[in-house]
Amino acid sequence: MKKFLSVLLALGLAVSATACAGGASSSSEAASGEPEATPAAESEAATSEAAAPIGEVMTYDEYMAIEVKEGDRVPVTIQGYVQAKQSLYTDPTTGLSNTSLYLQDEDGAYFAYRVQCTPEDFEKLTEGVCVQISGEKTMWAGEVEIAEGCTFTFVDDADTYVAEPVDVTELLGTDELESHQNQKVKFTGLTVAPSEIDGDETQYAFLYNYDGSGTQGDDVYFNVEYNGEKYQFLVESYLCDSESEVYKAVEALEIGQTIDCEGFLYWYEGVNPHITSVTVNG
């Protein structure tokens, strides 16, 4: 099915637009190959009466109405506005490239994992630009996303849209928080909580990798506390590298500081946001 959708896109098949005004064009055709943890092996595709016909652009509500479990893959086509992109990875063996996209519109948000992308198209994926994604909806460790190998086209004559972060601080620890998954969000009044490494009694304000096994340049994890509960946040190095302001801000954190954070509400066995901004208040 992915091959079929890619052929349709390469031929410039026009489809109806819902999330963005305009028609899709300029398909990116490179394949993926980033050496990162991948979702569970592909299972039989789930079915849903809510699914739109293959190739037809879905609204956000139609997309969310498709229920998926771990390993399910259901064909979808959506349109959304780029809010951020991870770095481009080019496989040294095949020369093919991919990136991961954080997308949003006025109704909700999407995460598209390992989107096939040429270096030329990658440069055009600027904040606010509208794209059409065709691929398969899946779930991995609780994160609802469009699976690796999906393809995209730019939507001609579309407006631009940059979402404002939604304050979800009071939703921490509630079931309602998950309804904002992948959206641009902010948290206020958090306290930096200790992070620990197994077998090490030292308390740290942050760790390179979730278990402290990494070095500078890897993902940076840190714990925060709110209303007596602890949560793990991270700076995803493919999104904000070690030279970024937020990466350096996390490296400078101290246990007990009060901070505000902004980022994207990613999910990994629970809330695990990809943080793009940290402000120390005290």
Residue 159, Cβ density class (10 Å: 0-12 exposed, 13-18 middle, ≥19 buried):
exposed
Which regions of the chain carry the CATH code 2.40.50.140? Answer: 2-155, 166-280
Res. 14: pLDDT tops 50: no
pLDDT at residue 146, as a whole number: 98
The four Cα atoms 208, 183, 24, 56 give a dihedral, to 10 degrees, of 120
Q: Is the CB of residue 181 less than 8 Å from the CB of residue 267?
A: yes
- Distance, C-alpha 282 to centroid of its chain: 30
Of 83, 81, 88, the C-alpha closest to 18 is: 81
Structure tokens at 109: 């948000």
Cα separation, 102 vs 105, in Å, equals 11
Structure tokens at 62: 């139609």
Give, in words, the CATH class of 166-280.
mainly beta
Query: Which of 29 and 83 is assigned the larger pLDDT?
Result: 83
pLDDT at residue 241, as a whole number: 98
Report H helices in 47-185. Answer: 60-65, 119-124
Per-residue confidence band for 33, with pLDDT thresholds at 50, 70 and 90: very low
pLDDT at residue 28, as a whole number: 52
Which CATH architecture is the domain 2-155 placed in? Beta Barrel (2.40)
pLDDT at residue 91, as a whole number: 86
Cα separation, 74 vs 21, in Å, equals 25
Q: Which amino acid is at 77?
A: T
Average pLDDT (189-199) is: 97
pTM of the model: 0.84
Res. 30: pLDDT tops 70: no
